[in-house]
Amino acid sequence: MSDAIFAQFAGGMRTLNTALTAAFAPDGTVCYLLRKEGETNTLSVVKQLEDGFFIEFNEFRGDFTFTYADADPSFRDAFARSTHIGYGVPDADGDIEVFEFSKTLGVDIVDPNGTSPFWKAGVSKVESERFTIPSDGGDDDDDGSGD
């Protein structure tokens, strides 16, 4: 598949994921790629995802599948730095639920390839952990775009 066709395919799947999130997630749902700093419990924002994401419950495994459609290869760095996802509707304190990437990285985390434009990861809810969204969005990408 040519790069141009793949980019068009990824754009369509990004639109699909955005529509699925709008249809099935509560209004106000946000998604952040997060990383845990060293041995601490401190989570920091790697990237805020403004569209193109979808989280689906996997009944067979009892966890969730996170997908994000993006043909931009620079997203690989943000995805590689991430250890968790913050997802949900912020409460009155600006807190959202935290999900951890699967420990079986070789099986449950997949980069896009010629037949799929999705970044995919198995994620599990971290009990009793919430992430407070920074007032500035907290995006640490070099371009400062926040998306």
Answer whether residue 138 is part of any domain. Answer: no
pLDDT at 104: 60
Answer whether residue 143 is part of any domain. Answer: no
Answer whether residue 29 is part of any domain. Answer: yes
pLDDT at 144: 36
Answer whether residue 101 is part of any domain. Answer: yes
Q: Provide the 10 A C-beta neighbour count for residue 129.
A: 15
pLDDT at 91: 95
Answer whether residue 45 is part of any domain. Answer: yes
Give the chain's domain count. Answer: 1
pLDDT at 136: 76
> Are 98 and 43 spatial neighbours (Cβ–Cβ below 8 Å)?
yes
Number of alpha carbons in the 13 Å side-chain half-sphere of residue 134: 15
Answer whether residue 79 is part of any domain. Answer: yes
Answer whether residue 147 is part of any domain. Answer: no
Q: Which amino acid is at 67?
A: T
pLDDT at 145: 36
pLDDT tens for 104-139 read 644 556 667 767 778 888 888 888 899 999 887 666
Q: Which domain holds residue 12?
A: 3-132
Answer whether residue 37 is part of any domain. Answer: yes
Residue with the bigger pLDDT between 60 and 14: it is: 14
b/e per residue 65-84 (b: at least 16 CB within 10 A): bbbbbbbeeebeebbeebeb
pLDDT tens for 47-97 read 999 999 999 887 666 678 898 988 777 788 888 889 999 999 999 999 999
